[in-house]
Chains A and B, each alone.
Chain A
Amino acid sequence: MEIAIKEQILAVVTEYPEKVQGNFGIFITKNDQETQHLALLLSRILKAMVHDLENGVYIIVKH
């Protein structure tokens, strides 16, 4: 049986660490390009989806 954490923030990717607080993996990047790439990698690894919070913070959530 496959067990996965769903509907929860698995990781956060952002250039702005001051905007995020919490008990999950926060990946801090240097620019937008790196953010996009890291978000893509994480989404593929976690089989999850990248959501844009429109303030420079991207979250990875499995649905």
Chain B
Amino acid sequence: MDKYSQIILLGIATGIAARIFMLRNDYRSYPSYPHGYVTHISLGIIAAALGSIAIPALLEKEFTAVTFLVLAAQQFRDIRNMERETLSKLENYNMVPRGFDYIEGIAKTFEARNYLVILVSLVSTGTAVLFNIWIGIFAGIFTIFISGFLMRGDFVKDIAIVKIGKLHFEKSLLMVDNIVIMNIGLEDSKKKILSEGIGLIIHPKNDNARATLNNLGQRQAILHDVSVLVGSKLETGEPDWTPLMRKDIDTGKLALYILPNEKDVECVIQAVYQTPILESAVQKPLESKIGRKAAD
């Protein structure tokens, strides 16, 4: 056997393992269908193969082989486009849409996961060449866990506190505490909302959180996740049940209204806490001098 074949096989194996590890099928239910798995695992295999051959190629002074990595980057950028396109098309038939920010976040994650696969393969083949194959295996597994840890972003629970708010009407205005949600005209809808609806108040922990939660994409992501997790009674042609979030312009706290399938407040609060913070929504005014000064 060629001196590198074992090492390359090791790199491919750890790369594929990394891709499978990252292909979790959670409540976001994406990708939830077998064909989605096949697509991503196949691309994962390609990424793993590319990552594994890079170091042996360099050692053999086959420098042109390394330029294939550049090609790979282009290839994987297409994954982002593919995900974005698919999810955007499905968006029209989503009761509570994800919003473009959430889609962009998901698409970016899928692209990044392939780069991580390349990294895992590179590390494991590299260490296998330097030391031996066992250390290569160990380094590969270690990198998988490290990348999993590093790729885990923040959640709403890290930046905000969610409390129950009082859902009530001031004449025709639906309010959660002192925040106006919307104007409702039908008496029957009002009765149903009062008996079955849930109102929450989301208090941002600091000014960074306030700026982040101010983003409409982030708010839509929260609404989408909550409606997926606890269910929403929203029906096409019945906009009174649309889950909504509105901001108290003076304090920056947010009011959330939803008509869930089950009136279980604790579950709705947990669902809000579990929503990921979107990369595109993150803003950090407190990192700047002006922001800090304005905050006090």
Question: A52 at the A/B interface (Cβ < 8 Å)?
Answer: yes
Question: B60 at the A/B interface (Cβ < 8 Å)?
Answer: no
Specify which of B183, B186, B236 is in contact with A47 (CB 8 Å cutoff): B236
Specify which of A44, A51, A59 is in contact with B238 (CB 8 Å cutoff): A44
Decide yes or no: A63 and B172 within 8 Å by CB, A50-B186, A52-B183, A52-B185 being known contacts. no
Question: A29 at the A/B interface (Cβ < 8 Å)?
Answer: no
Q: Please, how many angstroms separate the alpha-carbon atoms of A54 and B188 in the complex?
A: 16
Question: B240 at the A/B interface (Cβ < 8 Å)?
Answer: yes
With both beta carbons as reference points, the residue of chain A lying nearest to B92 in the complex is identified as A2
Specify which of A36, A48, A54 is in contact with B187 (CB 8 Å cutoff): A36
Chain B residues in 8 Å Cβ range of A28: none
Chain B residues in 8 Å Cβ range of A52: 171-172, 183-185
Q: Is the CB of B186 within 8 A of A36?
A: yes
Name the interface residues of B2-58: CB closer than 8 Å to any CB of A. Answer: none
Q: Please, how many angstroms separate the alpha-carbon atoms of A58 and B187 in the complex?
A: 12
Chain B residues in 8 Å Cβ range of A39: 185-186
Question: B153 at the A/B interface (Cβ < 8 Å)?
Answer: no
Interface string of A16-57 (1 = CB under 8 A from B): 000000000000000000001001100110011111111000
* B residues contacting the other copy or chain, number (CB 8 A): 14
Specify which of B188, B236, B239 is in contact with A40 (CB 8 Å cutoff): B188
State the Cβ distance, A56 to closest chain B Cβ, in Å. Answer: 11
Chain B residues in 8 Å Cβ range of A53: 172
Number of A-B contacts (CB under 8 A): 40
Q: Please, how many angstroms separate the alpha-carbon atoms of A50 and B240 in the complex?
A: 8
Chain B residues in 8 Å Cβ range of A40: 186, 188
Decide yes or no: A47 and B172 within 8 Å by CB, A36-B188, A52-B184, A58-B185 being known contacts. no
Chain A residues in 8 Å Cβ range of B187: 36
Q: Please, how many angstroms separate the alpha-carbon atoms of A50 and B237 in the complex?
A: 11
State the Cβ distance, B154 to closest chain A Cβ, in Å. Answer: 31
Q: Please, how many angstroms separate the alpha-carbon atoms of A6 and B183 in the complex?
A: 16
State the Cβ distance, B47 to closest chain A Cβ, in Å. Answer: 37
Chain B residues in 8 Å Cβ range of A58: 185
Q: Please, how many angstroms separate the alpha-carbon atoms of A7 and B184 in the complex?
A: 15
Q: Please, how many angstroms separate the alpha-carbon atoms of A6 and B172 in the complex?
A: 21
With both beta carbons as reference points, the residue of chain B lying nearest to A63 in the complex is identified as B239
Q: Is the CB of B188 within 8 A of A47?
A: no
Q: Is the CB of B172 within 8 A of A51?
A: yes
Chain B residues in 8 Å Cβ range of A50: 184-186, 189, 240
Chain A residues in 8 Å Cβ range of B183: 51-52
Chain A residues in 8 Å Cβ range of B171: 52, 54
Interface string of B63-93 (1 = CB under 8 A from A): 0000000000000000000000000000000
With both beta carbons as reference points, the residue of chain B lying nearest to A44 in the complex is identified as B237
- The interface of chain B, by Cβ under 8 A from chain A, is 171-172, 183-189, 236-240
- The interface of chain A, by Cβ under 8 A from chain B, is 36, 39-40, 43-44, 47-54, 58-59, 63
